[in-house]
Amino acid sequence: MPMYGRACSLYPRTIEMIDQLDLSDELNQVGIIGRGSVTFTGEGERVTARSINAIFSQMGRTFLDYVLNIRLKYSEDLIRKAYLRVGDKVKVKWEIRDIEQDVGNSDGYKVLSKIGAADTDETQYIRRQVLSLLKHLVGADGDSSAVRNLTEITLKVENSVYHWCRIDGVIETDMPDSELGFGSIESSTHGQVLWVNLDHGRSRIDFALNTELYENIRQSVADRYIVDDCIILAGDACHLHSSGAAQGMNTGTHDAVNLAWKLGGILRGWYRPKILSTYEDERRPAAQHLIKVDKDFSSLISGDIPAGYEGSSLSAVDLHAQVFEENIQFTIGLGVHYDGDSLFNRAAKAGSVTVGWRALDALLYSPGSKTPARLQQLTPNHSSYWIVVFAGEPISTKQKLCDFRIYFDSENSIFRRAPSESIGTLTIIRGVKNQGDAALGVPSFGKFYYDIDGSAHGRFGMSADAGGIAVVRPDEILAFATRLDQGRDLHEYFAGILQLGS
């Protein structure tokens, strides 16, 4: 009998990520779109300003302003099918049984993995050669990770005193507005009782319990995510937490996307091998923050006051509403960010943007079209960077555009020396013109799109008179920005990241 995880809710930032991978529509076709919630007190009084309902009021910075509820058995199946479509193979119901490392092997191999069928004695040895004489095994094999255990990575687990029950099924209820997507009841005996609409006509009920039918809440972060630059942990294999904030699939997706573009670029020969370490540098602090928040949520959902709040005059219900609201941006992913002074994220020299944070989305128009396209759709995640040229109003920026074009075409330009396909370009013109290149006065940098109302320029803090250049990472994190006539700053930014040609 196949076993599946319990994760079922995807928040806006995660949906943005899978949308860049061209997967969101397939998952949306199966799951339930939630844009609202209903909450009742233990006395049956309806309240609207707290619990899950509060998150929907803070989704204004994304066009994907909903929560997608889809059980893991269905999301896994859709992702697996997409993986097979690109020509890779998947072994179902196989497990890692042994790992050997040979970091000094002269043929470039670092890892020898022994896998076995879960229900037979059949075994195979897997050796995979990768570029740059690197070898990687990614352990995204859940909270009982064999990869983690076989490589002796420490995961010191803290078991809480709380037990939660979860039931999925076809459930009858007379709770008003139970079809909104989410519901909750503030119970004095079972904590925050959660109701979730699921795919295929199913629903889920979560509540605190003290019998044999429960989820034993465990919380921990692995002491390291990478061993010898070749064995890597992701998802539940490197962090454990409750389902209180529905972070399982979301945090795991953030891990996967952060790792995949870096590792994918290394394997293609685009990026320097040293960038792999930044996966742990960025994702482990995010997991540590999640565990801290999760400990508070676990206590409050179960009806107790967590450590650090003993002096609060609020009840567990009211304190839960306060702590939940304080952490909404992190919970829905739009507030997840990385160090603004690092190998990838450099202080911006133009615009009014904050590097290390998600690049804001915007509506743009292709020539002749009355139907807008989202900037994030125009910059898909193929492990390559995006240089977004904000041309401003060309009447005012024409000389700056000419200066950038001269740099762009020069022999020492980053666009000439970077590995093929490692950098994509896109030009955004303020307003609407009869013909883009004619208006720019130079050939556009990649395809051009119109920012009819100036909102795209405004979101990045680029004025119509000055324009600017934004460097966006493959995972849609804003990495750097500079003036339109300072294209040479791009060389300084990429010098430590890309494998540059001579």
Share of the chain above pLDDT 70, in %: 91
Assigned token pair, 440: 């720019």
Separation of alpha carbons 190 and 210, rounded Å: 9
The larger pLDDT score, comparing residue 428 to residue 208, is at 428
pLDDT value of residue 108: 58
Asked if residue 354 lies in contact with residue 61, where contact means CB atoms within 8 angstroms, the answer is no
Task: For residue 272, give the H/E element and its range.
Answer: none
Least confident of 159-163, 223-227, 431-435: 159-163
Residue 178 exposure: Cα atoms within 13 Å on the Cβ side? 16
DSSP per-residue codes, 142-189: -TT-HHHHHTT-----EEEEEEEEEEEE------TTTTSEEEEEEETT
CA angle, 415 then 418 then 420, to 5°:
95
Asked if residue 385 lies in contact with residue 474, where contact means CB atoms within 8 angstroms, the answer is yes
Q: What are phi and psi of 185, to 5 degrees?
A: -125, 130
Least confident of 160-169, 181-190, 382-391: 160-169
Asked if residue 378 lies in contact with residue 426, where contact means CB atoms within 8 angstroms, the answer is yes
Closest of 355, 375, 341 to residue 479, by C-alpha: 355
Angle at which helix 12-20 crosses helix 248-267, to 10 degrees, equals: 30
Closest of 164, 160, 161, 159 to residue 191, by C-alpha: 164
pLDDT band at 156; cut points 50, 70, 90? confident
pLDDT value of residue 146: 87
DSSP per-residue codes, 1-70: --------EE-HHHHHHHHHTT-HHHHHHHSEEE-EEEEE-TTS-EE-SSTTHHHHTT-TT-S--SEEE-
Residue 164 has pLDDT above 80, yes or no: no
pLDDT band at 471; cut points 50, 70, 90? very high
pLDDT value of residue 46: 86
Asked if residue 262 lies in contact with residue 281, where contact means CB atoms within 8 angstroms, the answer is no
pLDDT value of residue 325: 87
Assigned token pair, 99: 């790992």
Helices and strands in the chain, H and E counts: 15, 24
Closest of 358, 320, 319 to residue 337, by C-alpha: 358
pLDDT value of residue 452: 96
Asked if residue 207 lies in contact with residue 165, where contact means CB atoms within 8 angstroms, the answer is yes
Asked if residue 248 lies in contact with residue 236, where contact means CB atoms within 8 angstroms, the answer is yes
pLDDT band at 104; cut points 50, 70, 90? low
pLDDT value of residue 211: 45
Least confident of 261-275, 317-331, 404-418: 317-331
The larger pLDDT score, comparing residue 317 to residue 359, is at 359
Model pLDDT for residues 416-460, shown as the tens digit of each residue: 999 999 999 999 999 999 999 999 999 999 999 999 999 999 999
Asked if residue 231 lies in contact with residue 147, where contact means CB atoms within 8 angstroms, the answer is yes
What is the number of other CB atoms lying within 10 angstroms of the CB of residue 106? 7
pLDDT value of residue 130: 32
Separation of alpha carbons 305 and 297, rounded Å: 10
Separation of alpha carbons 339 and 285, rounded Å: 10
pLDDT value of residue 68: 95
Instruction: Indicate if the alpha-carbon torsion angle 273, 143, 30, 63 is positive or negative.
Output: negative
pLDDT value of residue 266: 93
Q: What are phi and psi of 80, to 5 degrees?
A: -60, -45
Tell how strand 385-392 and strand 373-374 pair up: unpaired
Residue 218 has pLDDT above 80, yes or no: no
Asked if residue 260 lies in contact with residue 21, where contact means CB atoms within 8 angstroms, the answer is no
Instruction: Indicate if the alpha-carbon torsion angle 239, 32, 66, 325 is positive or negative.
Output: negative
What is the number of other CB atoms lying within 10 angstroms of the CB of residue 324? 23
| Mean pLDDT estimate for the chain | 87
pLDDT value of residue 103: 59
pLDDT value of residue 220: 87
What does the chain come to in residues? 502
Give the residue-averaged pLDDT of 312-336: 87
Least confident of 71-85, 178-192, 349-363: 178-192
The larger pLDDT score, comparing residue 321 to residue 77, is at 77
Residue 153 has pLDDT above 90, yes or no: no
Q: What are phi and psi of 206, to 5 degrees?
A: -120, 135
3-class DSSP state of 116: strand
Asked if residue 67 lies in contact with residue 61, where contact means CB atoms within 8 angstroms, the answer is no
Residue 29 has pLDDT above 90, yes or no: yes
Asked if residue 317 lies in contact with residue 330, where contact means CB atoms within 8 angstroms, the answer is no
Assigned token pair, 479: 């990495």
